């Protein structure tokens, strides 16, 4: 059974002075043993969040890593630098693609760097509004996956714990909402694509796929009702303990229901 995962992306919010308190509050209000919980604070807050989560079963993730190990890259952070600070890393987020012009090939290098450094990567993919309206959503996401993962050892990606987060960019802050059926269709396309890239059907079926488009406690249930969706990459709502409690609580219900269904087979 695939794990149910809720990853919090705090983006450019919090400071070392308040991040630890927020992380501890969220951890204490989301104790769901059936849900994998990850908090991804800004780089400057990683140590504070790590320390605040000591004794809690909550992982710490980075919001980005550089595609090189070291060098003349002012202001950047490489995967090996995160040793002892994080065990997960987000790569290819839509805001990085937009603001830093990250290409699929570069993002693929980041996936490799993360796995080599024992960081579990969350690879983000998703289409823009014009691409969806043109009926090209599956084509765009398949191209992103092929560009980032094509030619890479499928076994290494599986062993490295790769997770895919589907981000419908057209549903983030636009007033248009994605539906559960939209996310399920794209999750199926994601698994079909990685199977074609050499994973095979069994490994592709075991790939966790998260939903990441304006997730809230109110809409989380709709996405988790889809068997192909395994949790969420949460943005703005992840800064609100009440919202995170509702999101993780709903994820826990889903995880238990899926386990019961598996045990009955």
Name the residues annotated as catalytic: 93, 167
Measured distance CA(233)–CA(7) in Å, rounded: 5
Euclidean distance between CA atoms 119 and 83, whole angstroms? 9
What is Dmax (Cα atoms) for the chain? 56
Q: Kindly state the tokens that stand for 20.
A: 């630890």
Q: Which two tokens stand for residue 119?
A: 């960081």
H or E segment and range at residue 166? strand 163-166
The strand pairing partners of 7, in sequence order, are 38, 233
Q: CB under 8 Å to 236, separation ≥6 — which residues? A: 11, 214
């Amino acid at each position: 059974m695939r794990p149910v995962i809720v990853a919090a992306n705090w983006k450019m919010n919090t400071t070392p002075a308040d991040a630890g308190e927020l992380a501890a509050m969220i951890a204490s209000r989301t104790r769901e043993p059936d849900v994998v919980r990850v908090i991804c604070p800004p780089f400057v807050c990683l140590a504070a969040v790590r320390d605040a989560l000591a004794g809690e079963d909550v992982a710490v993730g980075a919001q980005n890593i550089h595609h090189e190990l070291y060098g003349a890259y002012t202001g950047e952070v490489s995967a090996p630098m995160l040793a002892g600070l994080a065990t997960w890393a987000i790569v290819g987020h839509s805001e990085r693609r937009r603001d830093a012009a990250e290409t699929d090939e570069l993002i693929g290098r980041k996936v490799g760097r993360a796995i080599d450094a024992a960081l579990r990567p969350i690879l983000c993919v998703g289409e823009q509004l014009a691409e969806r309206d043109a009926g090209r959503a599956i084509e765009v996401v398949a191209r992103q996956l092929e560009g980032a993962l094509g030619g890479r050892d499928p076994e290494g990606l599986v062993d490295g714990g790769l997770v895919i987060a589907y981000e419908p960019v057209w549903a983030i802050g636009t007033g248009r909402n994605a539906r559960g059926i939209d996310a399920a269709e794209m999750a199926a396309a994601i698994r079909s694509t990685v199977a074609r890239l050499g994973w095979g059907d069994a490994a592709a079926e075991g790939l966790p796929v998260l939903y990441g488009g304006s997730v809230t406690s109110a809409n989380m249930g709709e996405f988790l009702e889809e068997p192909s969706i395994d949790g969420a990459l949460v943005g703005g709502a992840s800064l609100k303990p009440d919202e995170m409690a509702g999101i993780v609580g709903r994820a826990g219900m889903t995880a238990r229901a899926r386990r019961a269904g598996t045990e009955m087979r």
